């Protein structure tokens, strides 16, 4: 195997594509789930109750937690998209920019800060 082939091959491996697309989509879907209130389930820590989808906090039962549900929704969506991307032909898979892995999280940072505007009280 030539040096050129050796260095080029892993860039287009199916796992590499899955991992790249999973990471990008997970980040985007997580932010969407957070801002659009799309948890797969809601956990009520006061009573250990789990409700499917979004459920508001119940009176006298403490707060509701959506974070676990957002992670589940994002992981499922990103896994599906990652697998689909891994099934693409090699020629297309090679065209996915590797830099998206770090550019997307950095670009999402101001969006996340904005989504938390409720807390930035002066």
Partner 1 sequence: MDFVLDYISVNTFWTILSITHALLAVALLGALTHQAAAVLAPPRARAAGGFVTHFRSVSGPKYAAAVCVLWVIAFIFGGWIYTKYRIYVRIPIEQEGFWKTLGSFELKEHLTTIGLGLLPFYWHLWKNARNAAYDSARKWLTIVLAAICWYAFLTGHVVNNVRGFGS
CB nearer to partner 1: pick between 9 and 53: 9
CB nearer to partner 1: pick between 52 and 62: 62
The 75-94 site mask, x for binding partner 1 (CB under 8 A), equals x--x----------------
For the chain, the C-alpha Rg in angstroms (whole number) is 19
Helix (H) / strand (E) containing 68: helix 67-86
Binding status of residue 23 toward partner 1 by CB under 8 A: yes
User: What contacts 52, CB < 8 A, 6 or more positions away?
Assistant: 40, 41, 42
Is residue 10 within 8 Å of residue 16, measured between CB atoms?
yes
Binding status of residue 62 toward partner 1 by CB under 8 A: yes
Binning the chain into helix, strand and coil, the percentages to the nearest 5 are 60, 5, 30
Interface residue list for partner 1 (CB under 8 A): 6-8, 10-11, 13, 15-16, 18-20, 22-23, 26-27, 30-31, 34, 43, 45-46, 62-63, 65, 67-68, 70-71, 74-75, 78, 98-99, 101-102, 105-106, 108-109, 112-113, 116, 118-121
């Amino acid at each position: 195997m030539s040096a050129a082939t050796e260095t080029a091959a892993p860039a287009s491996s199916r796992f590499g594509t899955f991992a790249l697309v999973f990471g990008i989509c997970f980040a985007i879907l997580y932010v969407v789930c957070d801002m659009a209130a799309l948890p797969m389930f809601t956990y009520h820590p006061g009573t250990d109750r789990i409700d499917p989808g979004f459920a508001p906090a119940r009176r006298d039962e403490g707060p509701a937690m959506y974070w676990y549900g957002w992670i589940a929704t994002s992981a499922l969506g990103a896994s599906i998209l990652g697998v689909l991307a891994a099934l693409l032909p090699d020629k297309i898979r090679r065209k996915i920019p590797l830099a998206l892995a770090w550019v997307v999280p950095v670009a999402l940072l101001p969006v996340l800060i904005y989504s938390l505007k409720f807390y930035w009280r002066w």
